[in-house]
Amino acid sequence: MRKTPANGQREMPANATGSRDVRCSMFDVSPSFFCLRSSRLCGLIQCRSIGAIIFLLFSSACLLVGCSKKEESGASQLKGKQKVLVMIPKGVHPYYEPCYEGFKDAGAKYGVKTEYRAAKAFEVPQEVEVIENTIARHVDGIAISALDDQGLVPAIDEATKAGIKVITFDAPAPSSKALTYIGTMNEAAGYAGAEALIKVINSEGEVAVLQGGLGAPNLNDRFKGFERCLKEKAPNVKIVAREDEQGKIDLTVNKTEALLQAHPNLKAIFGVSAEVCPGAAAALKQQGKAGKVILAGFDDLPDTLAGIRNDVVNFCIAQRTYKMGWLSVEKLLEAIDGKPLPKEIDTGVLIITKANVDSYMQEMKKEFAK
């Protein structure tokens, strides 16, 4: 018989190790119960863990697929984005109308959007402002007719840093980071203008030159060529005045009237910028000297062409303005594609007289009617 302890509780038998199994008097839970429950709990945890892993893998896959689709969609939109090219002339002037016509026609052919943004006046700060506003819109390319070389250097540098391709047309900015210049080789064109004038005035007489802005590099180059030709081929022709009419027709009229009064023996007036022939023609007609004082100069404005037809203007030097605009689009697109551009592209000039005044423009456009 076993002895019953004094406290009335039964003493648990010793196990093989000498320790005793402890049982709770209320629940009477055995170790085998804990093992069973533990096994079930482990199985439950394992099932839940596997489910969680599957859920996470599925979610990640969906997320990756979604991101991939978004990236593909974004890349597709970027790839399909229409390029925007902007033409910025020196200011508002009818000379630039055929330039933009060529620019726009080329844009239509190559599927790019073209815009025209011009300052109201021929002033460097205004042109700089137009360029800066265009940079802020993150366009793809800009074609600039530079009113001033040094004055546009910071703005063109800013555009270049922003990843925008910049070229110049009509008037270069050689000190800037513009990729190329498309237009007339102005010194050679000025020389050609002087050669034509020498023939008309028989290599002698007084000549006055009118220029729209004494700081414009392209106009200075024209004058340089004009002056050099006279010295080399017609030493009896004397330049008696060189006046700045600031690119304004009304001021050109006033300057012409003053020249006629100051130089009564004036034989010819030559304009190195576009507004000279229309403005000077008006003054000559008012003074009764149309056809008596030879008038010639650059650019084929409608009023200049009318003056040629009416024998008020003897000839004009037509720059290939339509070609400048067209090539500006082509070269900007080449630059965007990473292709190198030549430093200069000469578009050439034509001497327009009464013989070809009504046919020359169609001849120039035929080059691009492909």
Q: What is the pLDDT of residue 74?
A: 39
Q: Walk me through the domains of the chain, giving residue ranges and CATH numbers.
A: 84-183+322-346 (3.40.50.2300), 186-319 (3.40.50.2300)
The span from the CA of 336 to the CA of 82, in Å, is 13
- The partner residues of 315 in beta bridges, in order of sequence, read 296
**Does residue 47 have a pLDDT over 50?**
no
The Cα 48–Cα 126 span in angstroms is 71
Q: Spell 251-285 as b/e; 16+ CB within 10 A means b.
A: bbbebbbebbeebeebbbbbbbbbbbbbbbbbbbe
Mean pLDDT value of segment 161-171 = 97
**How do 165-169 and 266-271 pair as beta strands?**
unpaired
The pLDDT tens digits of the residues spanning 189-217 come to 999 999 999 999 999 999 999 999 998 88
pLDDT for 125 equals: 97
In the chain, DSSP finds a helix count (H) and a strand count (E) of 11, 12
Q: Which residues contact 101 (CB under 8 A, 6 or more apart)?
A: 322, 325
What pLDDT does residue 249 have? 94
Per-residue pLDDT tens for 134-164? 999 999 999 999 999 999 999 999 999 999 9
Quote the pLDDT of residue 45.
42
Of the candidate ranges 77-86, 209-218, 240-249, the one whose mean pLDDT is the lowest: 77-86
Banded pLDDT at 16 (limits 50, 70, 90): very low
